[in-house]
Every structure is written in structure tokens, then in C-alpha cells.
Chain A
Amino acid sequence: MGMTGPSGIGKSILLKALADILPHQGEIFLGEIESQMIPAPQWRRKVALLPAESQWWCDTVGEHFKIFDETLFGQLGFEQKVMGWQISHLSSGEKQRLACIRLLINQPEALLLDEPTANLDKDNQANLESLISDYQKKYQIPVIWISHDKAQLERVCQQLLVLNKENYKLRPLTGAQL
């Protein structure tokens, strides 16, 4: 499902609430499981949120990964030597791609993506889109994708949630509808 709407409408807040990182009302189900039924860290590994701006706490890339998954890294154009790179030398695009790999390595059961390709060039954008779509097809999981790029939403989503000040609309996306 795609999600779009003007800035400040609460798209990112909604994703954070779904990941149970912000206090919220109502219930969130993933299959049979309600978010409060399992410990929060476990829920967040299942319902994985990729924030618009990724954060890194150690000095090198490798310290943020338990394992090196050759296919995942390879699909976004990285080789093994990336593990030794300094975080401070990464471009915002590299950070965004690495953050995506870091998220998928946890093998989540739902993906919440907050403008995952905002800093990427056309090629990398296409690579990331197909990586996500492969993952989605392989595990048959729900994906919520925030974007301001209508062409992209058309490519990657089956339904679109449009948030506005007054209301919200959920509509199916069948090619030419945007």
C-alpha cells in the first residue's frame, strides 16, 4: 500500500505508531498477533520501520551488521569491503541503501518505508524498488510505502492511501489512475 499526502499531515507519525515506537490508541494486528501481545522489541523486528533519515551509532558500517548477506548487499551495489567503511564518509544515498539492508536482514514480516528512495539516483531507486518487491513477493508480507513520487507509487503499490487535512481516501491503483 502506498501512502501520500501533504507534509506535516502525519504520515511518518502514523508509521511510528504502527511500529509501536509512539504511544497510540486502537489495536494493530499483524495476522493474528496484536502489538501489545508480544514484547515491543519483538514487535518492532516483525513490523520494521525504515525512517526517512537513518541513524548510525558506531564508527564503521560493519559494526551495525551481525552478518554480511552477499545477495542483499549485492543487489544494492555493495561489496564486502563496505563493511570497513567509515560512517562519517557515507553519502546520504549510501546511508539510505545500507539502512534498507540493515532492516531486511532482521527478516521483518511487515515493512513500513518512509520515503525510502528520497536521496537515490534513478538506477539505485530502481534497484531498491525491485529489492523490496522481491522481498514482498517472496514472503508475502504487507508493505506501506510513503512517497511524494506518484509514478513510483504507481509502480510499487496496489492501493493508495491519500491523507488530507479534512479526510483520507483509500483507492485501488490499477495503472492509469493517478
Chain B
Amino acid sequence: MIHLTPWDLVIASSMIILLAITSLLLQLNIARQLTIAAIRNVIQLLLIGYILKLIFNTSNLFLLASIATIMLLVAGYEINARQKYPLKRWVGFKIGTSALFLSSFSMVLLTLMVIVAPTPWYSPQYAIPLLGMLLGNTMNGISLGMDKLNQSVYQQRAIIEQRLMLGQTYQEAIKEIRTESIRTGMIPIINSMAIAGLVSLPGMMTGQILSGTPPVEAVKYQILIFFLIASGTGFGIMLAVWMIAKRMFDERQRLDLAILKIK
């Protein structure tokens, strides 16, 4: 495998800087977010690189659990960032984190204990990359689904109230919105499964091939990951949408948007 020098990364970063300058000139309002994200990216990845190097040499369940917890909490927080009509901070964090935990962790446990089954099952070389991919993708899906749900309910609140007035239950009154939100959250993963191999070579598979794994072995892993991500995302969104929708109505099934942080 060809090793990258710091200089190689500097060249790549000049492209990001070019993009930031262009977007500034065009007043696209993304220069700031782009720059921050790029800098965070470098720091976080370097940090995790060194941490991984350290813990790969020790198979310590406690250490692994702590890292997994940190990953979960950060993802749970990030779900609610960048939403148009975000949930109030604490509720949003609670719902996001529990949906992530139930969906991603169960998928990872299934993989570690039954499917890949390394020895020991909590071997960090498998556990951390798997958990990372699952959490990252599930987080994206849940975040998109939540954004759609909150926005639709807020904008269609008069319609929802009308349906309640006609004697519909709250589940009936938001049925279409709920379906649409789950669909929105699932689009990215369904798209990437559908085009994988034809249009795009998925990231993990590319990485394995670059580092010398035989292509068919890499493909098998990629299929496994796709299935895990799709199921994790799907169940995660359903959980989150179900939990939020329930809390948007009070005990007498009145629409109550106190759960939203409306600016």
C-alpha cells in the first residue's frame, strides 16, 4: 500500500479552500460551515487514528464500552443540530440517543456475536469501525426523517387539528406525515444500495481494496454493511418518528408542539 505524506493532504485541502472561497464570492452561506466541518474532520480523525492505534493492542471491554458510549452521545447530540424546526435540546437528545442506541447497537452486537464473530467478540479492530459506520449512517437517516417530521407537522398544524376535530385519532391525523418522514430518512441508504457497484464503489469496500484485500472478500463485507445500515437506519427512524409523534400530542390527543424549539 502506498503511504500518504502530509504534503499529499495539503494538496487535497487546497481544493476545499478553493471551494470555500468560491462559495464566499457567490454568497452561498456555506463557507463557514464547510471550513469548520473540514477542520473538525482533520482533528477528530487524527485523534481517533491515534486512539485506535493505542487500543488495537489491548482488547479491553471496558475501554471499548467507554469509546462506544462517547460515540453514541456525540451522534445523539448531532442528530438535533442543523434541523429547521429542532426539538428542545434535552428531549431531542434523549429521543435521538435512544433511537440510535436501540437500532445501531443491536445491529453491531448481532454482527460481532453471530455473523463475523471475532475472538474476543469485542475485538476493537472490528467493533469500532462497525459501530462507527452504523452510527454515522443511522444518524443521517434519523436526522433527515426528524427534520421532515417536525417541519411537516409544524406547517400542517391546521390540517392536523381539523382532522382531530373530525374525530380522527392522532395516529390517523399524522399518518401521511409519518410515512413521508420515514421514507425521506430511508432515501439515501436505498439509493446507495441501488447504485452500489454500478455508479459508485462504496467507501468501505474501496478502502479494503486499496489496502490489498481481494475484491470479492471486500464485496462480501460491503454487502454485510449495507444490510446492517439499511436495517439499522430503518428501525432507528421508525423508533424516532414514533417517539416524537407520540410526544406531539397530549393525553387528550390535542396537538401540542411544546416539544419543538421554535425560534
State the A residues within 8 Å of B (CB).
Answer: 19-23, 36, 39-42, 44-45, 48-49, 51, 53-57, 102-103, 106
Chain B residues near A53 (CB-CB < 8 A)? 158
B167 lies within 8 A of A20 (CB) = no
A21 lies within 8 A of B165 (CB) = yes
Please encode chain B, from 118 to 162, with 1 for each CB lying within 8 Å of some chain A CB and 0 for all others. 000000000000000000000000000000000000001011011
CA distance A175 to B167 in the complex (A): 36
A44 lies within 8 A of B166 (CB) = yes
Verify if B163 is at the interface (C-beta below 8 Å from A).
yes
Chain B residues near A57 (CB-CB < 8 A)? 156, 159, 162-163, 176
State the B residues within 8 Å of A (CB).
Answer: 156, 158-159, 161-169, 176, 250, 252-254
A23 lies within 8 A of B250 (CB) = yes
Chain B residues near A103 (CB-CB < 8 A)? 166
Q: Which secondary structure characterizes the binding site on chain A?
A: loop
User: Given A55-B159, A57-B159, A57-B176, A44–B254 Cβ distance below 8 Å?
Assistant: no
A21 lies within 8 A of B254 (CB) = yes
CA distance A36 to B251 in the complex (A): 10
* Interface pairs (28), CB distance under 8 Å: A20-B254, A21-B161, A21-B164, A21-B165, A21-B254, A23-B250, A23-B252, A39-B253, A40-B164, A40-B253, A40-B254, A41-B164, A42-B167, A44-B164, A44-B166, A49-B165, A51-B162, A53-B158, A54-B162, A55-B159, A55-B161, A55-B163, A57-B156, A57-B159, A57-B162, A57-B176, A103-B166, A106-B167
Given A21-B164, A23-B252, A45-B166, 6 more pairs with CB closer than 8 A: A41-B169, A41-B253, A44-B167, A54-B162, A56-B159, A57-B163
Chain A residues near B161 (CB-CB < 8 A)? 21, 51, 55
B176 lies within 8 A of A45 (CB) = no
CB distance from B159 to the nearest CB of A (A): 4
The 3 closest A-B pairs by CB, nearest first: A45-B167, A55-B162, A40-B253
